[in-house]
Amino acid sequence: MMRWGEPPVDPLLPPETVLGQADMAVIVCDRYSNVIYCNAFTETLLGFGGSEYIGRSILSLGIAEEDHDQARELARHVLKGAVWEGTFCNLRADGSTVYTRAYAVPLRHPSGSVEGIVIFAREALRSNQRDQDRYGLLERIGERLAASLELQQTLRRVADTLVPQFADHCFIDLYGGEKLIRRVSRHGGDWTPPPGTWAEVGETVVYPPGHFCAKALARRDAVVVEDVVAERMTAPSAASKQLGDDLGITSVIAAPLLARGEVLGVMSLALSGISRRPDPHYDGFDRDLVGAIASRVALAIDNAMLFEEERETALAFQKNLLPGDRPPHLDGLEIAWRYEPARPLESHGQGIQTQVGGDWYDVIPLSAGRVGLVIGDVEGRGARAAAVMGQLRAALRAFAQDDKPPADILMKLDEWVRTMVGPGGYREPADASERRHPLVSCTYFVYDAWSRILSFANAGHEPPLLLIDGEVIDMEAVGKGAMLGVREPGLGGEILYEEETRELPPGTTLVLYTDGLIERRPKDDGEHYTREQAREMLRESVRRADRKDVEAIANAAFEAVPGDIDDDVAIVVVRTNPVRLQVEQRTFQAEPIMVSEARRMAAETFANWGMLDEQAELACLLVSEVVTNVVLHAANTPTPRRELVLEGALGLDGPAGFDDPWEKLPDLGRPEPPTKEFTLRLRRGERSVWVEVLDKDMRLPRIRSAGETDEGGRGLYLVDQLAARWGSRPTSDGKAVWFEIPLKH
């Protein structure tokens, strides 16, 4: 038997015996943050541990991704010889969350050098560190609130931080007008209240007088009920009170959400029997803590609501600058489009913006049933990019009405973009970041559904996809072209855009998109897909949707690459008609007698197409007027002046004289002028008939104001008054005059 003061037989105990009995996780890491030891309580606390984790990174023990940077900071700090203390969010193997308070010290070699890190961790909010840990909870609430400006995400982060660490139940109710609307209902242990008991998210909440939430709203101060059993409380309904009794609600706190002097709502917390706690009651200290938390939450909610209002306004502004929800009905084409704004940039760690962008697209009806298509992207984000986008769309629509080739349209648009300088005019920028006008990428297409010819020019935009018979290819342009606005004002040189043409087979699908569809899409491991990987997934998704309608193809394109989009996305899908549209064409001599022949051809064609007699007669009348105008001006076209020039007069064969043979003299007779022609082209669509008259005269027609005694000058006036639309456009070798007659069925 040992006596008092006598040493034990074996005074040294193995370290594993001591550390194995510690009610605290002990983790030892090397200089590279790899685990070299963890005691038995580590697995109890974190849900991870044991010999299989030796050699793995400390991050493998369930540290939440949002705290990875904090863990790296811990390692840097301690390896310098200092100590570190802080709170971590840990995700257990069973999916639950636990907050741990960690204390880290350097592991020193007997020589004094730091060889690793020793971390002591325990569950936060333990009674022996109550004050310190609950202030740590307030700090964590602030960090989480600062990371979001989306209202629902802000509310969710608050509830996830408080439950189950500080409460078993968390409710946040916000005013919507005069009513309180439940916005958050979060409970520990994946428990959910039965229907018809506690108000669900989205439902109106009415607190009776005397209820602790009603008191908090009336007093504008936090209210705590330390012992629910000892105090009789009112409840919104009998079912609500019965559920509280069944759960064993022990203590509750309510705090008003005040921001800028206004009451936004109320936040309430409760402890119940769904979890085991050393002390399942709140007290005055907790009331003050929740009051401090509520003030921060209210400010974050107010900021989030202002941000959402700003974002909704900006998105409404942008969507009103883009075409409507439904594409126009156009002959020979099926069209679908989709625009998706990205989520706020804060979710990607790049600062906070409304994510209004400059992606734009349009479908523009042109002359004689032809269609202009455009898709583009203004560099940058925000309201300025959206405003530039709106101006670009309006400018392009105006330029497109000239019916110039796509390359000419892009040159005019480039010149227009370079004039868009900010207030104060142009000055030489010090670097590219000071550019005063925007950079814009776009591709402009013109499609003729009757000839199936697609003409286009590109200004630095992504190539569209062509889907033909189940095969997907990139429609690469030979000349990609520079972005609009890349050349600074006042600099010399000219940027040329090359025009190209393709004949699209029947049933071809064209997929136009902006680069937000394939840029910076996150993987599950935190990395990002490359542009080529994203583009290949896009091709495959579009290929699988080949036999579906254009709306389904647009959705397949948008959903091709997983992950949140980092930039706004515009998609336009165009499919050509599988059958050829009806067209008749004939060329005539530009002589007055051919006016009746052209009218006869038009009348026969309209009859074959089943036009009503009154429509056919009107169309034939306008054909006569346009053809007569072409023939009249063709007959009056001034011929080039011809001069008599003798060869000898130029000194080539000496001076001309009477001794020269007559056959060497030039032909003095008047040559016959070349015969002038015009072409009459008739096109039938589903809702309209288009008439085109093409000739080689470059002069465009204009309406004249004919006097009472004038014999002519009224033809184009009749066309202007009787046709639905009319106009003229230059062609490569002359001009085309056209008009449209709607069909009545």
Reference 281, options 207, 241, 242, 231; nearest CA is: 231
Q: Can you point out the beta strands (E) in 42-138? A: 84-91, 97-108, 114-123
* Separation CA 584–CA 573 (nearest Å): 29
CA contacts within 13 A on the Cβ side of 575: 21
Listed as ranges, residues in the chain with pLDDT below 50 are 1, 126-129, 345-353, 423-434, 641-662, 709-711
Decide: residue 271, CB within 10 A, 0-12 exposed, 13-18 middle, 19+ buried.
Answer: buried
Provide the token pair at 212. Answer: 């602790």
pLDDT for 141: 72
Provide the token pair at 674. Answer: 């070349």
What value, to the nearest 5°, has the Cα angle with vertex 706 and ends 700 and 708?
A: 165
* Separation CA 338–CA 570 (nearest Å): 6
Provide the token pair at 410. Answer: 């892009």
Q: What is the pTM of this model?
A: 0.62
Torsion of CA 445, 447, 452, 458, to 10 degrees: -10
Q: Packing angle between helix 284-321 and helix 130-146, nearest 10 degrees?
A: 10
Q: Are 156 and 184 in contact (CB under 8 A)?
A: yes
pLDDT for 355: 58
Provide the token pair at 317. Answer: 């502004």
Looking at the DSSP bridge assignments, the partners of residue 738 are 692, 727
pLDDT for 201: 92
pLDDT digits (tens, 9 = 90+) for 654-669: 444 444 444 555 555 5
pLDDT for 372: 95
Tell me the Cα Rg of the chain. Answer: 40
CA 691 and chain centroid, separation: 41
Other Cβ atoms within 10 Å of 713 Cβ, number: 12
* Separation CA 57–CA 30 (nearest Å): 10
Provide the token pair at 370. Answer: 């032809």
Q: Report residue 121: phi and psi, to 5°.
A: -135, 145
pLDDT for 656: 45
* Separation CA 25–CA 43 (nearest Å): 8
| Amino acid, single-letter form, for residue 403 | D
Residues contacting 19, CB < 8 A, separation 6+: 26, 39
pLDDT for 164: 85
* Separation CA 413–CA 245 (nearest Å): 72
